[in-house]
Amino acid sequence: MDAAARKVLGGDLHAAAHLTGRFTLRSGKVSGEYFDKYRFEADPKLLARVAAAMLPLVPAEAEVLAGVELGGVPIATAMSLASGKPAAFVRKEAKTYGTCLAVEGGDLRGRKVVLVEDVISTGGAILDARRHLDHAGAQLVAVLCALWRGEGEPRIPGLDAPVFAALTRADLP
């Protein structure tokens, strides 16, 4: 996707997800702005555009698209529908009932997997999801996100897999 297309998509994500008001952030700080990522994921046309922007970033050897709970799940599903690649879903923690798994969607032992996330700022959720994939016997080949909100180029310290982003903060208004 070229720079102009990224700016258009970034503008549309911003229009859908940028809220003003009074919001308490996870850090406890109060902000007059909030980026509600679920608003762009709940819009089927925008979600399809995000998935389409992310699909060219999938390495050729990838066999499975694994969405990270919760925000990566709709994107991985949309990418799966568009590409025909199977999806899997990585929970924050294993269920305590039924299959008692942290990774759902089939056996991933020996499979080449791409983790899919909506927004990455620091990568903490990705490192946790990576541990679950390792436990499931999967081989992580890359991480993809719709929006990289971290500093500099997409990279997660402690992760030995490349990180690719459809958009960065610079693509937002």
Q: Which residues are annotated as a binding site for 5-phospho-alpha-D-ribose 1-diphosphate?
A: 26, 91-92, 95, 117-125
Q: Which of 157, 161, 124 is nearest to 142 (CA)?
A: 161
Q: Record the tokens describing residue 102, joined without a space.
A: 């942290």
DSSP for 139-173, written as a single string: EEEEEEEEEE-SSSSS--TT--S-EEEEEEGGG--
Kindly give the residue spans of alpha helices, DSSP state H, lying in the chain.
Answer: 3-17, 37-41, 44-54, 72-83, 124-136
* Amino acid letter, residue 54: M
DSSP-derived pairing of the beta strands 18-24 and 30-35 = antiparallel
Q: Residue 85 and residue 76: Cα distance in Å, rounded?
A: 10
The answer to whether the Cα torsion of 51, 165, 25, 159 is positive or negative is positive
Q: Record the tokens describing residue 134, joined without a space.
A: 């390792």
